[in-house]
Amino acid sequence: MTVKELLAFEPGATDDLLHSWLGYTEVAGNPDLRYQISKLYSSMDKENIIVHIGAQEPIFNFMNVFLNKEDHVISQFPVYQSLYEVANSIGCEVTKWNIKQGENGWFTDLHELEAQIKPNTKLICLNNPNNPTGFIFTEDEIKEIAEMARKHNVYVFCDEVYKGLELDKIKRPWFADVYEKSVSLGVMSKAYGLAGLRIGWIATKDEEILEKMIKMKHYTSICSSSTAEFLSIVALKHSDEILNKNLALIEKNLEIADAFFNKFSSLFVYNRPTAGPIGFHKMNIKMPIGAFVDKLVDEAGVLLLASDIYAFDGQYFRMGYGRAEFEINLKHFEEYLLTLLKLDVLGNI
């Protein structure tokens, strides 16, 4: 979206923007923005919210104020790299809790998660909906994980940056609304598609974490851009409209993808995402997937992410459904595939 398109959602916003003040904003974020964010949750006040630069700053800051090297961390896997690498860099032992390939897409085993908890486990890191698999927990699973964490006195950090893009239209609660010792991570970059604003936030009821993260933010960014905060307020006032628009685009693109994967059903394992704009599919070829995606971008100009980017074993690749030009890009992919199949260079298995 352009600034112009965003401002068009709110009558009078363009004039207000031109008169907005360009001094420092508050360290915890513009109070109006914190209020708009708090309204996304069922049990948060603006005091429970700290605005940050994107989602990456709060991941880094939280891990650094919360973890010590003797702590054990469990991280859902595969996942956005910094959710486990920051803990690794602090010196923590990190155990990966795998999302698994099933007959009907991705699934997780909650018993396995509980079995991984040790006396020094301090944190479980989740990414719900998940990047890269498009997997999402049900509300019952969210509550079960919260209950398990409560029983073992373990904190949960839940990266919920893709929340709001549930393809089954079932709204799940934010983690911070169901568990008092948890932190929810949100951002304008993903579900809202407004990454250039660089506005993210954490929500938690834990006062000690709030206090430590405010202190840490004085060292990393002090405060966000006042203009980006203003534009984020406009976007959040129209949250449902923006999310529905983005969801409609993903649904349209997924229908196109359905037909494509149906046509090439022996070549792929199609894991249709349950939420979010990305899916993680398997390709039944002998050529290593990393070599295939390199060849694809070089020779056809189509970019996919191979599973080795995620340090994940297997012939998987990530495909995105959030762009307007998806259909034409998929067409290029298909034409290229047909050429390779004709030449018989893929080693289809």
Ligand X SMILES: Cc1ncc(COP(=O)(O)O)c(C=O)c1O
Q: How far is the CB of 52 from ligand X (least distance, A)?
A: 9
Q: How far is the CB of 111 from ligand X (least distance, A)?
A: 25
Cβ 106 vs Cβ 135: under 8 Å: yes
**Rule CB under 6 A: which residues touch ligand X?**
54-56, 80, 127, 131, 159, 161, 187, 189, 195, 200
Q: How far is the CB of 34 from ligand X (least distance, A)?
A: 18
Q: How far is the CB of 74 from ligand X (least distance, A)?
A: 17
Handedness of CA 323, 325, 329, 334 (dihedral sign): positive
Residue type at 2 in one-letter notation: T
Nearer to ligand X (CB atom), residue 55 or residue 235: 55
Nearer to ligand X (CB atom), residue 25 or residue 127: 127
Q: How many CB atoms lie within 10 A of CB 168?
A: 10
Q: How far is the CB of 203 from ligand X (least distance, A)?
A: 15
Residue type at 171 in one-letter notation: K
- The token duo for 222 is 């002090």
Nearer to ligand X (CB atom), residue 29 or residue 54: 54
Helix axes 239-263, 226-237, angle to 10 degrees: 80
Straight-line distance from the first to the last Cα atom of the chain, in angstroms, rounded to the nearest whole number: 42
Nearer to ligand X (CB atom), residue 56 or residue 226: 56
Q: How far is the CB of 75 from ligand X (least distance, A)?
A: 12
Rounded CA separation 17/230 (Å):
7
Nearer to ligand X (CB atom), residue 83 or residue 285: 83
**CB closest to ligand X, residue no:** 54
With residue 77 as reference, give the H or E element that holds it.
strand 72-77
Rounded CA separation 160/125 (Å):
11
Tell me whether strands 121-127 and 105-107 are parallel, antiparallel or unpaired. unpaired
With residue 338 as reference, give the H or E element that holds it.
helix 326-343
Rounded CA separation 300/302 (Å):
6
Q: How far is the CB of 197 from ligand X (least distance, A)?
A: 9
- CA-nearest of 284, 341, 346, 348 to 317 is 284
